[in-house]
């Protein structure tokens, strides 16, 4: 490492409550969201997103996986509770505010709990 700390990855974790139920249960909205997110944070999608609606009870909802050239975006939507759980992991830096703004715009989120991790594996020596 140099004097300026460098990281392998940047991992944004958003736990979102109070989502608009119609927005999180609408396939086209979820699809449009991830396409816009990839574009707005200047990533390159690797293939199409996988968006699957499955589960039961308070676990049911869409799960979204979008591979990007620098890692992945994953999200699970919880229909019964109007919640979403989003992870954006990339070795390329990106603007966290853009991600949060899009989440609010596409899903009407009322509350966001955020964590951000700068990731770097280190070989420990004895």
The tens digit of pLDDT for each residue in 73-123 reads 999 999 999 999 999 999 999 999 999 999 999 999 999 999 999 999 988
Q: How many residues does the chain have?
A: 126
Eight-state DSSP code of residue 66? E
Q: Which two tokens stand for residue 2?
A: 């140099």
Rounded to whole angstroms, how far apart are CA atoms 108 and 106? 6
Rounded to whole angstroms, how far apart are CA atoms 84 and 14? 8
At 99 the three-state DSSP class reads helix
- Locate the domains of the chain by residue range: 9-119
Topology of the domain comprising 9-119: 3.60.90
pLDDT range class, residue 2, cuts 50, 70, 90: very low
Q: Where are the beta strands (DSSP E) in the chain?
A: 9-17, 50-54, 61-68, 71-78, 83-90, 111-119
């Amino acid at each position: 490492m140099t004097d300026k700390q460098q990281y392998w990855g940047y991992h944004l974790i958003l736990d979102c409550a109070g989502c608009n139920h119609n927005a999180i249960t609408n396939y086209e909205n979820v699809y449009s969201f991830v396409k816009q997110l990839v574009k707005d944070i200047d990533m390159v999608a690797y293939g199409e997103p996988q968006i699957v609606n499955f589960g039961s009870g308070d676990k049911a909802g869409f799960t979204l996986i979008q591979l990007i050239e620098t890692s992945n975006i994953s999200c699970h939507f919880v229909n019964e509770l109007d919640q979403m759980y989003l992870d954006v992991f990339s070795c390329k830096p990106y603007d966290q505010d853009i991600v949060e703004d899009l989440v609010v715009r596409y899903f009407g989120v009322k509350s966001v709990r955020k964590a951000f991790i700068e990731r770097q594996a280190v070989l420990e020596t004895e």
